[in-house]
């Protein structure tokens, strides 16, 4: 070994931007990661999660972020990001690395794909909720 440590990846160690713009790191290895964010960071108020997720199937769940817009940047693969707000559904197809979508505050959203996909997420997480289908 050369004595040099490998830097972390956002997939394994997401970054948390605190209200004073410091960056904290928290390993994403526990099944209760998101609940821990709420408890460790006072409900995540004023914090932003910067993370990478890999997926190769539809999410199967919808989410909404009332604290602000979410920024999603495609790293590889392809996915349809589906938003539902004010009774209307919109679909944004990301299929070229470097493309991005901004999910508006309070818009329910999910992703649909059938291919291996990786994306970078910048998420204002305070108050995030999940639903099997908010359109029902």
Residue 2 lies in a domain: no
- Asked if residue 1 is part of any domain, the answer here is no
Does residue 109 fall inside a structural domain? yes
pLDDT in tens, 14-55: 999 999 999 999 998 888 998 999 999 999 999 999 999 999
Could you tell me if residue 136 is inside a domain? Answer: no
Q: Please, which pLDDT band fits residue 123 given cuts at 50, 70 and 90?
A: very high
Task: Give me the mean pLDDT over the 67-81 stretch.
Answer: 98
Q: Inform me whether the pLDDT recorded for 1 exceeds 60.
A: no
Q: How far apart are CA 127 and CA 112, in angstroms?
A: 23
Report percent pLDDT > 90 for the chain: 86
The domain in which residue 105 lies consists of 15-131
- Tally of domains within the chain: 1
Instruction: Establish if 94 belongs to a structural domain.
Output: yes
**63 against 2, higher pLDDT:** 63
Q: Is residue 119 part of a domain?
A: yes
- The DSSP secondary-structure symbol of 43 reads G
CATH number at residue 61: 2.60.120.10
Q: Is residue 120 part of a domain?
A: yes
């Amino acid at each position: 070994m050369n004595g040099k440590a490998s830097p972390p990846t956002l997939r394994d160690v997401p970054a948390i931007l605190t209200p004073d713009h410091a960056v904290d790191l928290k390993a994403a290895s526990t099944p209760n990661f998101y609940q821990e964010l709420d408890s460790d960071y006072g409900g995540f108020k004023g914090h932003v999660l910067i993370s990478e997720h890999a997926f190769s199937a539809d999410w199967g769940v919808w989410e909404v972020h009332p604290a602000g817009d979410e920024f999603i940047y495609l790293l590889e693969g392809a996915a349809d990001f589906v938003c539902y707000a004010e009774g209307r559904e919109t679909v944004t197809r990301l299929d070229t690395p470097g493309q991005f979508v901004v999910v508006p505050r309070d818009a329910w959203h999910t992703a649909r794909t059938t291919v291996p996909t990786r994306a970078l997420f910048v998420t204002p997480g305070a108050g995030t909720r999940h639903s099997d289908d908010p359109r029902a």
